């Protein structure tokens, strides 16, 4: 499930003299597109040279997307999408507590890892129930029916004016299966508990690999100097399709001329973008702008790094 094209984060509605990017110190930079592209290539080279992930990146299990995955088009309504995003579920069948082990199938081989039980996966999936339903506990940070909906963004919380009903999703079945997941070793088939949901057209999958068997994404090393003005960071990956990457850039509310930029070599890809800053008064808001870049070769198992932080990008929640 892809989010809408623009997400406004809840940040102070300050009026500024321009639309400088939020949360990053920036150096003055070239004002023309050619100069910004050259500055991007220079920084991307530094980011790629600093990327030293260690042996577990190629031998372990390092997932690059979240643990809850939709297995197809769920045919959401506004109410069911709000419940899915918030993690509101109710089980109408027994959830087995049995623990098992299973194989992850990578493009370059197999890895057998312990799994959590279906019961534990359900406990991770279920984030509480909506209010003001009688007898249901409040969970911090969740939408309140009758008020604005909320969902986490990379720099805070997002709001919309959509109002939703008090509706949890009904679990009517559970089985062990597998789903495609982007990892540090390329797209892998990963064991997952598949929960059949009465209100959705396809099951909701919760990745089943035990937390103790998951290798964390390594800490990135960003260039010491500030990001040149006119360049913007990539927040996450929206889609990967062979040589085509859709990334979401963090841009100012009044930025124009939004242009994706990509730098690649056989072992790594670096992405970001360039913008033209507004010169007038502009609200200090950050937008997530989806853009698509085309690579010279299919992405394969190469990491996609953000040009600002040097961090590998994960797949955005679906």
Q: 60-102, pLDDT tens digit by residue?
A: 999 999 999 999 999 999 999 989 999 999 999 999 998 788 9
Element (H, E) at 123: helix 118-125
pLDDT, greater one: 49 or 27: 49
Model pTM greater than 0.85? no
- Residue numbers of the domain that contains 86: 66-135+166-213
φ/ψ (deg, to 5) at 43 = -70, -40
In a domain, 153, yes or no: no
- Residue ranges with strand state E in the chain: 15-16, 26-27, 68-70, 89-91, 101-106, 109-114, 149-153, 156-160, 169-183, 186-197, 204-207, 227-228, 231-232, 234-241, 244-252, 256-265, 268-276, 282-283, 286-294, 304-306
Question: What pLDDT, on a 0 to 100 scale, did the predictor assign at position 30?
Answer: 56
pLDDT at res. 146: 38
Domain assignment present for 290? yes
User: What band does 9 get if pLDDT is binned at 50, 70 and 90?
Assistant: very low
List pLDDT tens digits, range 189-238. 999 999 999 999 999 999 999 999 999 999 888 898 899 989 999 999 99
- Give the whole-number percent of the chain exceeding pLDDT 90: 65
Is 116 inside a domain boundary? yes
Number of domains in the chain: 2
Mean pLDDT for the stretch of residues 24-32: 51
pLDDT score for 240: 92
Residue 271, pLDDT score: 98
Q: Does 121 share its domain with 188?
A: yes
Residue 4: CB atoms within 10 Å:
8
Residue 250 covered by a domain: yes
Same domain, yes or no: 201 and 295: no
Residue at 144 is within a domain: no
CA 24, CA 295: separation in Å to the nearest integer?
27
How does pLDDT run across 140-186, given as a tens digit for each residue? 334 433 333 334 433 343 434 345 567 899 999 999 999 999 999 99
């Amino acid at each position: 499930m892809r989010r809408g094209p623009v997400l406004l984060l809840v940040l102070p509605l300050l009026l500024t003299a321009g639309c400088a990017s939020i949360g990053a110190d920036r150096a003055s930079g070239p004002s023309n597109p050619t100069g910004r592209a050259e500055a991007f290539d220079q920084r991307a080279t530094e980011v790629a040279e600093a990327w030293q992930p260690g042996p577990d990146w190629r031998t372990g299990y390092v997932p690059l997307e979240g643990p809850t995955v939709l297995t197809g088009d769920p045919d959401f309504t506004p109410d069911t999408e709000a419940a899915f995003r918030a993690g509101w579920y109710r089980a109408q069948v027994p959830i087995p507590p049995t623990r098992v082990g299973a194989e992850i199938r990578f493009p370059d081989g197999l890895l057998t890892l312990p799994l959590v039980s279906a019961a534990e996966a359900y406990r991770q999936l279920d984030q509480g129930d909506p209010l003001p339903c009688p007898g249901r506990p409040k969970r911090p940070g969740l939408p309140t029916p009758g008020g604005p909906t909320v969902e986490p963004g990379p720099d805070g919380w997002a709001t919309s004016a959509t109002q939703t009903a008090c509706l949890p999703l009904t679990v009517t079945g559970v089985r062990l299966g597998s789903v495609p997941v982007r990892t540090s070793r390329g797209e892998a088939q990963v064991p997952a508990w598949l929960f059949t949901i009465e209100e959705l057209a396809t099951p909701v999958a919760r990745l089943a690999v035990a937390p103790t068997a998951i290798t964390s994404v390594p800490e990135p090393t960003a260039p010491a100097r500030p990001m040149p003005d006119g360049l913007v960071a990539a927040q996450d990956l929206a889609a990967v399709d062979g040589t085509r990457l859709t990334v979401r850039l963090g841009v100012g509310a009044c930025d124009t001329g939004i242009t994706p930029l990509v730098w690649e070599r056989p072992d790594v890809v670096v992405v970001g973008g360039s913008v033209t800053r507004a010169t007038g008064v502009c609200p200090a808001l950050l937008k997530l702008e989806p853009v698509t870049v085309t690579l010279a070769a299919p992405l394969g198992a190469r990491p996609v790094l953000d040009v600002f932080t040097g961090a590998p990008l994960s797949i955005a929640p679906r």
